[in-house]
Structure 1
Amino acid sequence: MTLTPALVRDYDAQAADRATTDTATFGLGCFWGPDARFGAVDGVVRTRVGYAGGTKLDPSYHSLGDHTEVLQVDFDPDAVTYRDLLEAVFRQHDPQTQPAKPQYQNVVFASTDTRRAAVETVLSAVGETAESVETRIEQLSRFYPAEDYHQKYRLRSKSSFLSVFEEAGYDAEGIRDSPIAAKLNGYVAGHAVDVDTDRPASDRHVSE
């Protein structure tokens, strides 16, 4: 499968819309890596990186205040559950350690009783509780999207792919919110992805 403007537009047009997806927000250090890893997960539809957890209004990368770099994902709950995502989050960091700098701390934003219970269930499976780990478990007050150059950071390093989005008429916001951009961002970072809607899942791949 060769990436073309038509494929980009068609894939995104067929993706689940926001009315049928749920949203989850996590902090796992520098947000470039988690953006790529979770974008490649089956059932994750869209990703965006940003800042949350602090008190400073309108933070930016160079004026972050007490905020943390975070990843926000839109996911199809029929394909991947919030608990599945939590299990991936806790596999990807040591919940018993925490960076001193708030910018790169580990945090799970669980803003409902149901999600808090899911956190407790995942932690209890490994003999922990929300109180026994260093990972911050908090409610999300506000998410601030990061600057355009942080969105789909790995994809932006692949000019041959990025040019296809430009040919398809995508601006920076369009790339940030594109379902296929989330998958390709993971692919460029070395993760297995499945984006070819015209082939069986076992035979799907990406090529330049």
Structure 2
Amino acid sequence: MENLKKAYIAGGCFWGMEDLFRVRPGVTDTEVGYIGGENENPTYQNHPGHAEGIEITYDANITSFKELLDYFFRMHDPTTVDRQGNDKGSSYRSAIFIQNEEEEEAAKEVIQLVDDSGKWPGKVVTTLEPIAKFWVAEGYHQDYLVKNQNGYTCHFERFNTSFL
């Protein structure tokens, strides 16, 4: 029997994150959207303070929150403030949106493991933010890199070994 949970993260352009997470073991669904900002009903043209984020639905019998975070820290650069690749601004910040104490502790533990590994040239600047309403992005953003196979992404797996 499935044990479905959701995780909310941001790490730059949501297209590339979704494309990589959609095929991870245990991930059953992904949606891209806006989270952690100032306005209701944000759009691509109007999302002040919102990060381009991803909602990941996963089966906790197959993968864990910590394993998702482990991959998160391998597929984007968590050491740059408000930037991934060519994308700059708070919309592209690295953030984990925390739903409970268990997630907060797991996030802190994984961040410490990433910092201790020395694989990145700097320390992790990923913010731990309280969960906020996740606003699903416009339809043309969903599955964007499936629809546009030559579309822009700055996300790729940097390390083939786990931090865990």
What does residue 122 of structure 1 align with?
A: 110
Number of aligned residues: 141
What does residue 167 of structure 1 align with?
A: none
CA distance, structure 2, for counterparts of residue 66 and residue 26 of structure 1: 15
If you compute each CA radius of gyration, which structure gives the higher value, 1 or 2? 1
What does residue 156 of structure 1 align with?
A: 147
The one of 92, 96, 106 aligned to 1:104: 92
Matched, 1:137 2:120: no
User: Scaled by the length of structure 2, what TM-score is found?
Assistant: 0.78
Unaligned runs of 5+ residues in structure 1 are 1-14, 159-189, 192-208
The offset of 1:63, in angstroms, is 1.0
Name the one with the larger strand percent.
Answer: 2
User: SS state of the match for residue 125, structure 1?
Assistant: helix
CA distance, structure 2, for counterparts of residue 152 and residue 42 of structure 1: 18
Where do 4+ consecutive residues of structure 1 move more than 6 Å? none
Unaligned runs of 5+ residues in structure 2 are 83-87, 117-122, 150-155, 158-164
What does residue 58 of structure 1 align with?
A: 41
Q: Percent identity?
A: 31
Name the one with the larger helix percent.
Answer: 1
Q: Given that residues 54 and 67 in structure 1 are in contact (C-alpha distance below 8 angstroms), is that contact kept between their aligned partners in structure 2?
A: yes
In structure 2, relative to structure 1, the CA distance for the partners of 1:45 and 1:95 (3 Å cut) is same
In structure 2, relative to structure 1, the CA distance for the partners of 1:103 and 1:126 (3 Å cut) is closer
AA aligned opposite 1:125: L
Q: Given that residues 73 and 114 in structure 2 are in contact (C-alpha distance below 8 angstroms), is that contact kept between their aligned partners in structure 1?
A: no
CA-to-aligned-CA distance 1:4-28 (integer Å, 9 cap, x gap): xxxxxxxxxxx95xxx300001101
Q: Given that residues 109 and 140 in structure 1 are in contact (C-alpha distance below 8 angstroms), is that contact kept between their aligned partners in structure 2?
A: yes
